[in-house]
Structure 1
Amino acid sequence: MALFRRNAAVAQPERRASRRYAVDCPARLKMLGGDRIGRLSDLSEAGARLDTPNPPVEGVSGLLEWADQEHFCKVVWVNDNSCGLIFERPIPMAVVEHASQTVEAPSGPVANFGNIPLGQKRSRRSEFLRSE
């Protein structure tokens, strides 16, 4: 009954040299062929992931900028809307930790005022709860 035999799960070795941290901040990748604007979605001492609608081709080198940081890097993988970058030199862990703690708050109105109905009576339940 080899058909129902379970295969033992094979653990894949970790390929990354350093731990990744989730971040969310605006970034720019400057290259000779033009800049790509996007957002960093993860960061480590060795590299980063840049989410951008038009990622560059694999193998291109550039300067990654975010906040007050600038680091030379190379594109090592690309998919439809993001790319993986490896830094020329590892960046300090303090820079990674600072970026992972900084979360940009979205700006704009909390609610779309066009969706708020005006002139409607409150339900009887809310009136009942207020009278108690």
Structure 2
Amino acid sequence: MVQNAIVKRIVQPGVAEVSLLRQMECGLHCDGACAGCSQKPKEEILALASNSIGAQPGDHVEVEPTSRHNIGISVVAFGVPCVGLGMGYVLGQSLLGLGEGMALLTAVAGLAVGCLPAILMNRAMVRSAAPEFSILKFLR
């Protein structure tokens, strides 16, 4: 998904910090004053982008997310907790012979255990400080 952004600062050679401009249904032709723009983010959304075109602070650019590991991250974030939920229920109901209520508690425990890989992956991604976007071209 291609987005518009403004380059805020150069972090290091080849990497820039960009402010992502969220695109609304109306295109913000009304300067955000209409009732339809109630979902407009209140604060700036900053991200790192690889800067192969040499954009400077203040430049309006077009960026796209890097395509590395997107499907794998989605599976870990959404699929693994669902599998944990199902396995927790099956473990409680069939293998441990618990009643319906207790099996639901083991399902919740399975969901919590299934969320751990997503939480750990999120922390690792935040610490890595690798660019999440690539700058494609100048807009203005």
Q: Which has the larger radius of gyration?
A: 1
TM-score higher than 0.5 here?
Answer: no
* Larger relative strand fraction: 1
Structure number with higher relative contact order (C-alpha < 8 Å, ≥ 6 residues apart): 2
TM-score (norm 1): 0.21
